Amino acid sequence: MSFAEMPECRALQRREVLCESLGISVVDFRCRASVEPEGPEEPNATHSIVFVRRGVFRRTYRGETLVADPTHVLFFNAAEPYRYAHPLPGGDECTILAIDDALAELTDEAVRAAYRAREPRAESQPPPVAVRRARDMVEVAKLAVNELVASPPSLGELARRFDCSPFHLSRTFHRVAGVSLRRYIGRLRASVAAERLAADADDLTALALDLGYADHSHFTNAFRQEWGLPPSQFRARVRAR
């Protein structure tokens, strides 16, 4: 019996199949776990593409750990073993696309091609130890930001935690995460705001201040940059469904 199949864990999880068609199942997944340490390995039931809507969890696969939050889309292979942990309270909510083998192969080819196109030449790649150290630094930084979304630590504060210069951390974060730390924080805040707007947030000014925006105008501009429309229109469209 895997960790996810244990009775106490099933009680914290809810899976609902929203639709099934042409080799794809769309699943709504919700986990209400509190802070939990990393559990034993769990084989994934299907090939899956996972969109994190709310919350934070940590996934370990082949010795590499990723902090997953609403800025992430994750890929899972069928029957491959993964470990999970919840470093922050509140659990998580995800939309899962479970896909069959044929679609998984096409997806794998597309993703590999995209990564090959942006990979640096082999001679310019750092040694594996340096790559691992940089990745670990970025994952810790992401978790620190998720813990205090409204008032995240500054670049200088994070750099002091790692005993490095702000320039080094900034460059490392951008190289590993693909975006600057500032843009990452902006995307995370906008994702959290979108989830709250879709749920029950009605007072836009209160929501803006709660998420650390300077005022309603700042919130509107930042949200529009990420989602392409202002918060009020986003809320109206989502709730009209």
* Domain regions of the chain by residue span: 3-118, 127-178, 186-239
Q: Which two tokens stand for residue 179?
A: 């975006």
Instruction: Say what the pTM is.
Output: 0.82
Q: Which residue has the higher pLDDT, 143 or 10?
A: 143
CB 48 within 8 A of CB 82: no
Q: Which two tokens stand for residue 226?
A: 């990420």
List the 64-68 sheet strands across, edge first.
Answer: 42-43, 81-85, 57-61, 64-68
Which H or E run includes 84? strand 81-85
Model confidence band, residue 123 (pLDDT cutoffs 50, 70, 90): low
CA atoms within 13 A on the CB side of 20: 3
Report which of 79, 81, 85, 39 is spatially closest to residue 61, judged by C-alpha positions: 81
CB 69 within 8 A of CB 130: no
3-state secondary structure of 176: helix
Architecture of domain 3-118: Sandwich (2.60)
* pLDDT of 184 over the 90 cut: yes
Please count the other Cβ atoms lying within 10 Å of the Cβ belonging to residue 222: 20
Domains 3-118 and 186-239 share a fold: no
What pLDDT is attached to residue 11?
52
Top-tier CATH class for 127-178 = mainly alpha
Please count the other Cβ atoms lying within 10 Å of the Cβ belonging to residue 236: 12
Residues in the chain: 241
Q: Which two tokens stand for residue 162?
A: 């790692």
Q: Taking the domain 186-239, which CATH number applies?
A: 1.10.10.60
Per-residue pLDDT tens for 11-39?
Answer: 588 999 999 988 899 999 999 988 888 98
C-alpha angle 219/221/226, rounded to 5°? 95
Q: Per-residue b/e over 154-192, b at no fewer than 16 CB within 10 Å?
A: ebeebbeeeeeeeeebbebbbebbeeebebbbbbbbbbb
Q: Which residue has the tokens 């979108």?
A: 194
